[in-house]
C-alpha cells in the first residue's frame, strides 16, 4: 500500500511523499481505514490503484469517506478509478452506506472530471492554511487563563464551542479512533474550560481547535496555538478544509498569522 501510494502521488501538485511511519499514521490510524470497503486494482499481483475508505456518521448519514485515491502513472488512462468505484458502490450500498464523500484539489481538473463521471458532484469548497509564526500584535490573554494537557476529552463541551461541524476526517466520531496519536490541551479560566485544541505533533496538523463563544477575542486561541506550534517538530501547523462559508473564522485565521495555501472541493455521491 505504501509503495503504491508513493508511486501514485510522485507527480502530485503538492509535495505529498510520506515515510512509512507517516503513511501508517495517516491512513491506518487517522483515517481508521475500513479494509472491507476499500478496494485495489492489481496487475500481475502488484497493487497499481487504490481507494482507501473510512466509514462513519457524517452530517447525520452513514458515510463512506474516500481518504485516498491513486493510480500509478504508467497504468493511467484505462479508467481504473471508474472501475474501482463500479466495484465498490454496490458493496457500500449493501452495507447501508447512504453517501460517499471525498475531497479533491480545485486545480486538479482531471481528477474532478473522473469523479464526476463516477457520479460525484461538488458540494462545498474548502480552504487550507499553514501557520509558521503567530502575529506578535495579538492580544495576550488574562493571566488567569491556564493551559494544561488532558487525557480524556469532554466531547459534549467541545462540540458546544463549534460554529460548524468539522469535515469528515476531523469530525468527533472519526477522531476518537486516533486519540493515541493526538495531543489534547484545554484552556481554563479558573475551573472553567474556555477553549481547547487537539493536534498531531508528529505531522504538525491541527485536528480541532475552538474557543467558547463567550470568551472569544481575549487571546485564548493564540495561547492554544502557541502551545501547539512549540510542540510541533517543524515549528509549523496546518489546518485543513475550512468551509469557505466560514467568513468570520477565515478572517480570524488571517489575523492570527495563517497563510492560505490551497483549496479543495468536497464532492458527494448519494445513494
pLDDT at 15: 64
Q: Please count the other Cβ atoms lying within 10 Å of the Cβ belonging to residue 243.
A: 18
User: CA angle, 255 as apex, 250 and 256 as ends, to 5°?
Assistant: 95
Residues of the chain with pLDDT under 50: none
259-270 vs 192-200, strand pairing mode: unpaired
List beta partners, residue 192: 189
Digit-coded pLDDT (tens) for 38-85: 999 999 999 999 999 999 999 999 999 999 999 999 999 999 999 999
Cα(271)–Cα(262) distance, integer angstroms: 30
Comparing CA positions, the residue from 145, 173, 136 lying closest to residue 257 is 136
pTM for the model: 0.90
Predicted local confidence at residue 6, as pLDDT? 95
216-to-129, 137, 147, 164, 249 alpha-carbon distances in Å: 20, 16, 16, 16, 11
Domains of the chain with CATH codes:
2-119 (3.40.630.30), 129-263 (3.40.630.30)
Pairing, β 99-105 against β 61-71: parallel
| pLDDT number for residue 269 | 97
pLDDT at res. 254: 92
The confidence score (pLDDT) of residue 137 equals 81
Please choose, from the candidates 100, 112, 103, the residue with its C-alpha nearest in 3D space to the C-alpha of residue 68: 103
Provide the 3-class DSSP secondary structure of residue 24.
helix
Cα distance between residue 214 and residue 165, in whole Å = 19
Cα angle 183, 240, 131 (rounded to 5 degrees) comes to 75
The secondary structure of residue 28, as a DSSP letter, is I
Amino acid at each position: 500500500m505504501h509503495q503504491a501510494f508513493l508511486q501514485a502521488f510522485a507527480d502530485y501538485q503538492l509535495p505529498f511523499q510520506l515515510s512509512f511511519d507517516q503513511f501508517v499514521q495517516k491512513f491506518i490510524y487517522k483515517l481508521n481505514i475500513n479494509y472491507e470497503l476499500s478496494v485495489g486494482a492489481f496487475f500481475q499481483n502488484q497493487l497499481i490503484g487504490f481507494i482507501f475508505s473510512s466509514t462513519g456518521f457524517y452530517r447525520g448519514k452513514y458515510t463512506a469517506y474516500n481518504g485516498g485515491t491513486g493510480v500509478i502513472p504508467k497504468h493511467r488512462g484505462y479508467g481504473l478509478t471508474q472501475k474501482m468505484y463500479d466495484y465498490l458502490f454496490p458493496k457500500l450500498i449493501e452495507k447501508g452506506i447512504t453517501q460517499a464523500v471525498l475531497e479533491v484539489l480545485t486545480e486538479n481538473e482531471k481528477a474532478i472530471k473522473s469523479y464526476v463521471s463516477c457520479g460525484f458532484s461538488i458540494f462545498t469548497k474548502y480552504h487550507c492554511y499553514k501557520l509558521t509564526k503567530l502575529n506578535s500584535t495579538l492580544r495576550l490573554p488574562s493571566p488567569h487563563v491556564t493551559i494544561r494537557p488532558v487525557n480524556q476529552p469532554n466531547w459534549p463541551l467541545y462540540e458546544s464551542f463549534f460554529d460548524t461541524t468539522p469535515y469528515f476526517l476531523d469530525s468527533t466520531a472519526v477522531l476518537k479512533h486516533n486519540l493515541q496519536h493526538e495531543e489534547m490541551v484545554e484552556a481554563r479560566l479558573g475551573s472553567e474550560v474556555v477553549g481547547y485544541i487537539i493536534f498531531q505533533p508528529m505531522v504538525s496538523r491541527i485536528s480541532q481547535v475552538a474557543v467558547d463563544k463567550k470568551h472569544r477575542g481575549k487571546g485564548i486561541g493564540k495561547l492554544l496555538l502557541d502551545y501547539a506550534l512549540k510542540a510541533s517538530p517543524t515549528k509549523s501547523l496546518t489546518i485543513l478544509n475550512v468551509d469557505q462559508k466560514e467568513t468570520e473564522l477565515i478572517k480570524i485565521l488571517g489575523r492570527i498569522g495563517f497563510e492560505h495555501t490551497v483549496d479543495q472541493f468536497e464532492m458527494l455521491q448519494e445513494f
